[in-house]
Amino acid sequence: MNMNRSRRPAADLIEAIVQNMRSNLEELRYTTIAPSRYTVYVSPAEHARLEGIIPRLQAETLRALNEELSRQNRRGKLRNVIGPWLGRPKPLLDTADARWHVEFLPDLDGELQSEQDIVVHSELILPAEPELGTGERTRRITTVHSERKTTTREPQVKSTSARAAGYGRLVYQDQKGSHQFEIVRESTSIGRGGTMYPVDVRIATSDDVSREHARIRRAADTGDFYLIDLSSLGTTIDGRPVPKGYDNGNGSKRENGAEAPLPKKARIGLAETVFIDFERLE
């Protein structure tokens, strides 16, 4: 009997990272940038099996990413040589940072369904858009590889510009006690979080609160705050329901732009289970 039938070859992890890189490219005028930072989650059992070779796995992943970078640029140069009728020259691919950063971690949230499942997060820092009044933004792409299919999730682009003094404050209690969170960015995600749902404010509570339950957005031009409901069981402001911020279609959630203004002080309810006191500090 083959006891290793359920194991993925370690090479599949490398290919999953390269595939994620291809799906998170941003074309600028003169270059196309690829994310430099990748976080890979596998089951605890699979992580334990691979733990001794993770340095080697990281080294081979960096080699594969560099090879993909070179391959894409060879194709781009060939296209630019073929002729101007193909349109504007294709910008060459470059990394967002000077170095690749790849980390392999165990899924301690128990979200992966089998030892074959792989989750890859990549983060790409996008340039500021001064004309729109925004700072740097982060686009996070999550790719989930299971036994049967591969799915990709892209949360809405959010600002990552931060400052030392907070724009606002969140105070709440959950199963782990009392907490205070300073809002220093223009987008703050709230929920139970997890391996496949990284959030800024991670609430320890029941499943009534969604993995990514809500998002607070700060408008850079006015400093006003807005609340976006991304949950299954609803979000309230001072007891009033917030309109759903997404539509369901073809088995996937798509944000629809609906949001509710937050007053200078407000009480945010997550599925009537956890309540967060919000205060604007400016």
pLDDT in tens, 221-235: 899 999 999 999 999
Q: What is the pLDDT of residues 230-274, one digit of tens each?
A: 999 999 999 999 999 998 776 567 888 899 999 999 999 999 999
Specify the pLDDT at position 127.
59
Which tokens is 204 given?
């320890």
d(CA 282, CA 219): 13
Fold of 10-159: hypothetical protein PF0899 fold (3.30.2320)
- C-alpha–C-alpha distance, residues 227 and 259, integer Å: 5
Dist. CA 264–CA 12, nearest whole Å: 49
Identical fold between 10-159 and 168-280: no
- Parallel/antiparallel/unpaired status of strands 150-153 and 168-174: unpaired
Query: CATH 2.30.110.10: does it fit domain 168-280?
Result: no
For position 76, what pLDDT does the model report? 63
Question: Which is nearest to 69 in space by CA: 39, 23, 34, 120?
Answer: 34
Determine the Cα–Cα distance for residues 23 and 210; give it in Å rounded to an integer.
26
How confident is the model at residue 148, as a pLDDT? 73
| Domain locations along the chain | 10-159, 168-280
Q: Which residues of the chain have pLDDT under 70?
A: 1-6, 76-89, 126-137, 155-164, 250-252
Tell me the sheet residues that pair with 145: 118, 150
128, with CB counted inside 10 A (0-12, 13-18, 19+), is middle
